[in-house]
Structure 1
Amino acid sequence: MKFIAIALAALFASLPPGARAAAWEPAPGHVQVPIWPGTPPDAQPLSGPEFVTTRNTVAGKPWTAAERVSRPTMTVYAPKGRNTGAAVVVFPGGGYWVLAMDLEGTEVCDWLTSRGITCVLLKYRVPGDRQQPQSGPYPKSPMALQDAQRSIGLVRQNAAQWHIDPHRIGVLGFSAGGHLVAAISTHFERRLYPAVDAADKQSCRPDFAVALYPGHLWIDDDKFELNPDVPVSERTPPTLLLQAEDDHVDGINQSLVYYIALKNAGVPVEMHLYPSGGHAFGLRPNAFPITRWPALVDTWLQTIGMTSD
């Protein structure tokens, strides 16, 4: 924790006054932690500093996008009241271009912490500019997956201080973040970067995984085959998938093809498909039953032994 405070102070001291206001920051009482002590691996120059924008409404409320993220961070949200010992690293979506920091980030952390689960919100690298290369998917670009590997290692390294069971650390992601869930679930045997410190000696394999309306898993319209860059094995962690049949951004074949690969590999997997709901609904309830998905995840986590009643 001392390393975290020192690193954060150094980061903020180096920023001009106007830059901090432009970048995404968590609510008061929560601290962003840079996940890399220096320049991140495979860093790409961006067209300007990080900033946030307000996007169209979802369930009657606008959502906030973080753009041009070049210095990834994680923000730890401790459980409210009872602590189950479980932790979830959350990957917001945004097409590997931007990050939906509230819709698919802080609002999810509020729910997780209310259930006694530590939430770690990862602000991974994204360019925010379609003239820049995306931060994923891997292997086309390794940056987002590098950030995911690093963050899980850091959570395990700090498990005792953060009152987390190191064997109950999972991931949850939306859209591109759902693909990142699949990527980290199948790319944990070796780091995609040279080790930085002791955190990189920790396993970066998630103990469980939740992917909501994921993308980049089915890439050939002529073949119903899983993206070969997502090499499912018997060591892929137990997974829950959720998607709407009328999702016109990432169709249900994205989840179906991954589900079948997981089943064939003998990986415990649960999938929920709904006829309606579209894409990018986050955790905001509306008229569609699919938006009640937190109850499904809650029950599933109990079923696989990650939490209890």
Structure 2
Amino acid sequence: MALLVLCCGVQAEPAVWQPAGGRVQVPLWPGTPPNPAPVPAAEYVKTGTDLIGGKPVTWVSNVSRPTMTVYAPTGPNTGAAVLVIPGGGFEGLAMDLEGTDVCDWLAPRGVTCVLLKYRVPSAPYDWRCDCRPHNLALSMPSLADTQRALRTIRSRSAEWRIDPKRVGILGFSAGGFLVAEASTNFKRRIYAPLDAVDKQSARPDFALALYPGHLTTDYRKLNSAITVSGDTPPTFVLQAEDDEVDGVNQALVYYTALKKAGVPAEMHLYAHGGHAFGLRETSEPITRWPALAEVWMRSIGVLPGH
């Protein structure tokens, strides 16, 4: 999880995260968000001293007011949209490494990118054990925020020039867990409907789970919060074998469940790459995964051409 990237030293800035380029964060909820989770202090931003791909990492935590930031296509609009969910172990969010960097990749390809700043920390836990009680609680604020974001995108599809039948989801690490959770629990009402937005579907039309975590309870058995079925959307999975944070079994167990359920799935497994590399190019071949993801999105009809 991206939390480990920043543990070696950060510079804290007591400010709410703001997107660059004059973009505006859109509040996710009309009032107080449901399923509230206490936060220890005000939202803050950290700038990491360690570099990934030659750049520092921006870390955001204590998020109590979730938002979306819309990145309109800078290339010819394809009508596709992707909800991007940064990782961070449910303790914080790697907002650039696993967030804005993704939108900078998708927008020139004609995809509307919607960056989710969801509520963290979600609950106290020890990521080194298999106890993780927050994974099993379907009322968790992070999943409620994810469902609400997907519904909001569809509710504003005409305004944002989006095809409501080509709304996908992409997440890293803990965000990859939310990808799997949203892909398999979209029929469950995680929160009481508030307005017309909540009449929309919360099912992603396609999904990308990148070095996902928290997917198993004993590194062999699929987390009971992930109920894979034939209705689970087509899924792209990426994992490094030497990922010492979540481990390769997380992705393998999920991919196996997808195949058993007859879900169209594609998995790319690399020998090296570690964890929390995002889209930043390094010497490892795994960092060229965006080209594979783009081919996959074309193969399933999300993007034009094949």
Residue type matched to 1:115 in 2?
Answer: R
Give the distance between the partners of 2:86 and 2:47, measured in 1 at CA: 15
SS at match of 1:60: coil
Give the distance between the partners of 1:129 and 1:229, measured in 2 at CA: 16
Residue type matched to 2:183 in 1?
Answer: S
Q: Deviations over 1:65-109 (max 9, x none)?
A: 111000000000000030010000000000000000000000100
Q: Deviations over 1:194-244 (max 9, x none)?
A: 1011110100000000000000112214xx221121000000000000000
SS at match of 1:75: strand
Superposed, which structure 2 residues align to 1:207-246 within 5 Å? 207-221=205-219, 224-246=220-242
Q: Deviations over 1:7-31 (max 9, x none)?
A: xxxxxxxxxxxxx970100013211
- CA distance 1:132–1:26, shift in 2 (3 Å): farther
Contact 1:67 1:128 (8 Å CA) reproduced:
no
1:32 paired residue number: 25
Give the distance between the partners of 1:38 and 1:147, measured in 2 at CA: 13
Contact 2:243 2:275 (8 Å CA) reproduced:
yes
| Identity score, percent | 60
SS at match of 1:26: coil
Q: Deviations over 1:260-289 (max 9, x none)?
A: 000000000000000000000000000001
Post-superposition, which runs of at least 4 consecutive aligned residues in structure 1 deviate over 4 A? 128-136
Give the distance between the partners of 2:297 and 2:47, measured in 1 at CA: 33
Residue type matched to 1:52 in 2?
Answer: V
How many Å apart are 1:168 and its aligned residue? 0.1
**1:108 is matched with which residue: 102, 113, 137?**
102
SS at match of 1:137: helix
- CA distance 1:274–1:247, shift in 2 (3 Å): same
1:258 paired residue number: 254
2:137 paired residue number: 139
- CA distance 1:126–1:132, shift in 2 (3 Å): farther
Give the root-mean-square deviation of aligned CA atoms: 2.0
Contact 1:104 1:283 (8 Å CA) reproduced:
yes
The number of residue pairs the alignment matches comes to: 288
Contact 2:82 2:167 (8 Å CA) reproduced:
yes
Give the distance between the partners of 2:35 and 2:54, measured in 1 at CA: 39
Output the TM-score relative to the length of structure 2. Answer: 0.90
Contact 1:137 1:216 (8 Å CA) reproduced:
yes
Q: Deviations over 1:177-203 (max 9, x none)?
A: 000000000010032111011110100
Output the TM-score relative to the length of structure 1. Answer: 0.89
Residue type matched to 2:30 in 1?
Answer: P
1:3 paired residue number: none
- CA distance 1:73–1:139, shift in 2 (3 Å): same
